[in-house]
Structures are given as C-alpha cells and as structure tokens.
Structure 1
Amino acid sequence: MKSKRIYTLLILIPVLLVLAVCSSGNAQVYKMEPDTFSKRDMAIYKVDNSKERVSYGMSRKNAEKVLGTGNEGISNWYTYDSGVSVLYRHDKAVVITLERVSQGAYKTARGAEVGTNKERIKELYGEKYAIENASETMKSLKYLEYYYDTETKELVKEYQSDFKSLSKKELRAKHLLSTTYDEDGKIVLIILMDGQASNTFE
C-alpha cells in the first residue's frame, strides 16, 4: 500500500510542477494592472481568437495575415473591412485604430473595444494617469488618453502639445492609447500610436 502511494506521488509531482510553471507563466503574461502600461498594451486581438493579434511594430505582411488585404489610402494608411485602420512606417505598424465597425470583432490587449463605457476604460487602464480632454471642433466628443514613455517605462501626464520640441527618435519612444467617447460616455474610436505618428501623421 505504501509503495502504491509513493508511485502515485512520483507520477503526480511532475504533473503538478508542469501545471505550476504553466499557470505562473500565464499569470506573468496576462496580468495587466491598472495604472501600468507596457509593450503588450500596444496590440489588438480578435474577440473570438486572442492568438490572432496585430501589434505595434508588426510588418504589414504579418498584420494582413490577421486583418486580410487592406485598401491603401494616403501616406501608407490602410483600411480593413473589420473596422481596423493601420498606418505603416517603413512597412511597420505605428498606428492601429479601432473604429465603430470593429465592435464585436477586435479589442485591445486589455479587452477594451468600441462601445465600451469610459468608466470601464479607467477600470482597465487606471485613473492615476488618465488624461481627459474635450474636442475643440466637436463639443460632443471627448478624449480619454494614456501616454507611456518606453525609455523610463512609466506612464506620464503629458499632452501631445508637449511633444513638439522632441526629435523623431524621442517621439517614437512615446506610446499612446487614445480613446474618443460620445456624450453618453461610449467609446467610438480607439487609437494605439507612437508620438511621431501623433505629431507628424507619419
């Protein structure tokens, strides 16, 4: 009887160790606390398949394996039937937008999608570094934004106007999540981009 217990333990221990490693690995990958930001945040995923993602810096070829063939607009902007638009710089994605049509099809790495309530965005990304602005041209639209410095690895309280004195290299080190919401507090547009694209549209 004792030998049977030992045999069972010998079988179970490797299995438990594998499960422990896998679960801790998953926790490390998917744990995204509010008031933090990282490279992992600069991506969108298919709602029905989180393995299919488009991320900042991805080549157009690889992005279109997920999005399908895009329609080219001005200045390397491509639009896709899924309600996603991407700006490529030197064939790398530097702006990823989710428009109204993307609702139910794509979401950000944290699970935000068009139609999400503004308060839910704050729950996902935090309130400490949230920057809220009103549109100067369309008073019915407002913005909720987050600015991340990839060099210091910190969220910062900076506005786009503060970026004008920075070089293109310095601008590329700034990553932004910008959401536009309507009078009802519903998100109508989500944009992931770097500071260069934000300032120069390229």
Structure 2
Amino acid sequence: MRKLLYLSIAVLVLLLSACGVKSNSISKVDIGVINVHTKEKVSYGMTRSEVEKVLGKGEKIGDDTMFSYEDGLSIIYKNDQLIGIMLSNSSEGIFETVRGIKVGMLASEVLNLYGSENNISAESKILQFIYEANSGKFLKAYPKTSEEIKAAQIYMYDSFIDDNQYIFSVSLVDESALVDQ
C-alpha cells in the first residue's frame, strides 16, 4: 500500500511539472502578462481587439506595431497579433509575466530563472537572454542577419536594473515575428 502511495505522489509531481512553463527556456507561452489584482491575462497571439477588451484602448506609439496601455504596459503587434510585451516602472504591483517576473524584483531572481550563464549582456545594469527555440538552447550572441533570425525562431528577454539590483523594466519579444516575412 505504501509503494502505491509513493508511486502516486511521484506520478502527480511529474504531471504537475509537465503542465507548467518549461524552466530555463523562453517560448511563446512566456510572452504574456497577468494583472495581479484581476487575474486577467493577455498573451502571445491575441489580436489587438482581444487585448483591448481586457486592457482598454491603447495609445499608438509610432507606427501601428506598438501600443501603450495604462499602468506601464506596452504591447508589440505584428499583423494585429500580440508578439511582445514591455513592462515599465509604473507596472510595479499591477502586472507580472506568466512566469512571475515583475518590475521591482531582484535581478538575481531572473538570473536564477533563466540561468546566469545565459545572460549575454556585458553591462551590469542589463539582463539579456536570447533563446533559439529550434535548438532548444540559449544563444551567446544575437544572430547577425534577418535570415538567421527567421530560421532560428528567436525569443528575447531584456531587463534594466537600478543601482540596488532591482528590475525597472521587462521586455519579452518574439524576435522572429519582427522580421519581415
């Protein structure tokens, strides 16, 4: 009976870990935010009209690809679909990514999530991770050509860090979607 209990617990742990976001990677699933108060979520692939049902009308920044919303959230669209999110200082305490990354957290927490060895930034005030989905590996440098970006399926995470090692901006983008097809 005890063996059956241990086996059941092991299977449950395996199933629960398989349901979440894969750690030490970046994918489309990561490109989304949750309002910590309302639990409403906007995520990769949503249309601008679907996003605006959740967030309200956005204000265009430049061309038709980037819109700013209340509370420090900006969204990048390609062909009217969400492909990137950006959180600024004013999002603190309101939004977090689907992995729980938020403005105001310690940079060390993000380094633990993605692996400090995968941070390609040489600057002490910037975290930058470039993940190549086709190989399932973090890259050590940004691809040099748009053809390499398209072929590789690149997802990128960036954060800026203040003097006390707290994050004050977060960006998650499907870089391959930014490249013209």
Q: 1:116 aligns with which of 105, 111, 125?
A: 105
Q: 1:61 aligns with which of 38, 49, 69?
A: 49
Distance across 2 between alignment mates of 1:23 and 1:62: 34
Distance across 2 between alignment mates of 1:63 and 1:22: 34
Distance across 1 between alignment mates of 2:21 and 2:147: 33
Task: Give RMSD over aligned pairs.
Answer: 2.9
Q: CA offsets per residue over residues 9-65 of structure 1, 9 Å max, x none?
A: xxxxxxxx9xx99876543222543x3333322222122354x22222221112222
Alignment check: 8 A CA contact 2:132 2:152 kept: no
Distance across 2 between alignment mates of 1:172 and 1:65: 33
Which residue pairs with 2:74 in the alignment?
Answer: 85
Distance across 2 between alignment mates of 1:89 and 1:165: 19
Q: Which has the larger helix fraction?
A: 1
Alignment check: 8 A CA contact 1:36 1:125 kept: yes
Q: CA offsets per residue over residues 158-184 of structure 1, 9 Å max, x none?
A: 23xxx3423286178211011111222
Q: What SS does the aligned partner of 1:144 have?
A: strand
Q: What SS does the aligned partner of 1:184 have?
A: coil
Distance across 1 between alignment mates of 2:52 and 2:152: 23
Q: What SS does the aligned partner of 1:131 have?
A: coil
Q: 1:152 aligns with which of 128, 131, 135?
A: 135
Evaluate the alpha carbon distance shift between residue 54 and residue 99 of structure 1 in structure 2; reply closer, same or farther with a 3 A threshold.
same
Distance across 2 between alignment mates of 1:47 and 1:171: 35
Evaluate the alpha carbon distance shift between residue 75 and residue 164 of structure 1 in structure 2; reply closer, same or farther with a 3 A threshold.
farther
Q: Which segment is superposed worse, 124-133 or 114-123?
A: 124-133
Distance across 1 between alignment mates of 2:27 and 2:175: 15
Q: 1:43 aligns with which of 24, 32, 35?
A: 32
Alignment check: 8 A CA contact 1:107 1:113 kept: yes
1:73 Cα offset (Å): 2.2
Q: Which segment is superposed worse, 184-193 or 149-158?
A: 149-158
Which residue pairs with 2:157 in the alignment?
Answer: 177
Distance across 2 between alignment mates of 1:64 and 1:124: 30
| Equivalences, count | 172
Evaluate the alpha carbon distance shift between residue 31 and residue 197 of structure 1 in structure 2; reply closer, same or farther with a 3 A threshold.
closer
Alignment check: 8 A CA contact 1:144 1:178 kept: yes
Alignment check: 8 A CA contact 2:84 2:173 kept: yes
Distance across 2 between alignment mates of 1:172 and 1:86: 23
1:131 Cα offset (Å): 2.1
